[in-house]
Amino acid sequence: MDTLSQHVTDTLRDWVLHGRLSPGARLEEIPLAASLGVSRTPVRAALATLGNEGLLEYQPKRGYHVRTYALEEIVAAYDVRAALEGLGARLAAQRGLDEAAIATLRACLAQGDDILSKGVLLPEDHEPYQHMNMCLHNTLLEAAGNPWVQRFAAQAQAIPYASDRIVLWDVAHDVILRSHGDHHRVVDAVIARDAPRAESLMREHVYYAGIILRNNYEALRAATPREA
């Protein structure tokens, strides 16, 4: 996939995962191309890719629509994420981290600490915290050294509201603080090469994220900006 097509695919994927494109919305090539400032060719390729990923559904004569997931399907994806990312943390601990991975993880932890030290969840801190969260999880998955764990974890994350790209920012500060505390505990266990503890902690961390999602699902959907 060329760079432009990849960019369009990543953008549309983010729009779906963040709810900017609502479940059931019809996706038309010409309006999307105009919004993105590109031709129809990369948009067409992106729609096909996202259809293969399961984010979109294709209907003859109607084209692509954003797939609608029930809450139980999303929660089930968290169960899969917990198992896969727990395995990833175990493998990373067994292999050991190189200095670059350790530096990246510690930088993520420090950034999260800085954001949460304010005692409140500021709107302008939402996106930086999301990026930090993605970086930390992806670094650990890469450190596992198993491409299948990365691949299947990415598939589990490619469901709206189940992705590590999503951080619920309208919950209480102490909920996010507890979640980031999990980050510290997981990273400490991986660095210490305590594989069983690393796996258990990561499983609990992702499982807890699923509980937060379940408890806040309707409010999240109502508050998420959408466009057809």
Q: Please provide the DSSP assignment of 62-77 as one string.
A: TEEEEPP--HHHHHHH
Least confident of 24-28, 87-91, 219-223: 219-223
| Rounded mean pLDDT, 26-54 | 90
Least confident of 17-21, 31-35, 197-201, 211-215: 17-21
CB neighbourhood size of 83 (10 A): 18
- Residues near 34 by Cβ (< 8 Å), separated by ≥ 6? none
In the chain, where the domains are located:
3-66, 71-223
For 134-193, the pLDDT digits (tens) are 999 999 999 999 999 999 998 887 777 666 666 676 678 999 999 999 999 999 999 999
Note the pLDDT of residue 228. 36
pLDDT at 154: 85
Phi/psi at 184 (5° precision): -60, -45
Q: Round to whole Å and give the CA distance between 185 and 40.
A: 46
The 8-class DSSP code of residue 19 comes to T
Beta strands in the chain (DSSP E): 26-27, 56-59, 63-66
The mean per-residue pLDDT over the stretch 65-85 comes to 89
Give the percent of the chain with pLDDT over 90.
54
Q: Which CATH architecture has domain 3-66?
A: Orthogonal Bundle (1.10)
> Residue 4: its pLDDT value, please?
87
The whole-number pLDDT of residue 165 equals 60
142 or 217, greater pLDDT: 142
For the chain, the first-to-last Cα distance in angstroms comes to 26
Higher pLDDT, 196 or 213: 196
Q: What is the pTM of this model?
A: 0.76
Angstrom distance (rounded) from CA 139 to CA 97: 10
Residue 218 has pLDDT above 80, yes or no: no
Phi, psi (degrees; rounded to nearest 5) at 209: -60, -35
What pLDDT is attached to residue 54?
A: 80
Closest C-alpha among 57, 84, 107, 123 to residue 206: 84
Q: What is the residue-averaged pLDDT of the chain? A: 88
H/E stretch holding 84 reads helix 71-95
| Weakest-pLDDT range from 71-75, 82-86, 102-106, 148-152 | 71-75
- Size of the chain, expressed as the number of residues it contains: 228
Q: Which of 162, 169, 205, 155 is nearest to 71 (CA)?
A: 162
Query: How confident is the model at residue 166, as a pLDDT?
Result: 63
Mind listing the pLDDT tens digit for each residue in 92-125? 999 999 999 999 999 999 999 999 999 999 989 9
pLDDT of residue 221: 61
Domain covering 71-223 assigned CATH 1.10.3720.10 in the classification: no
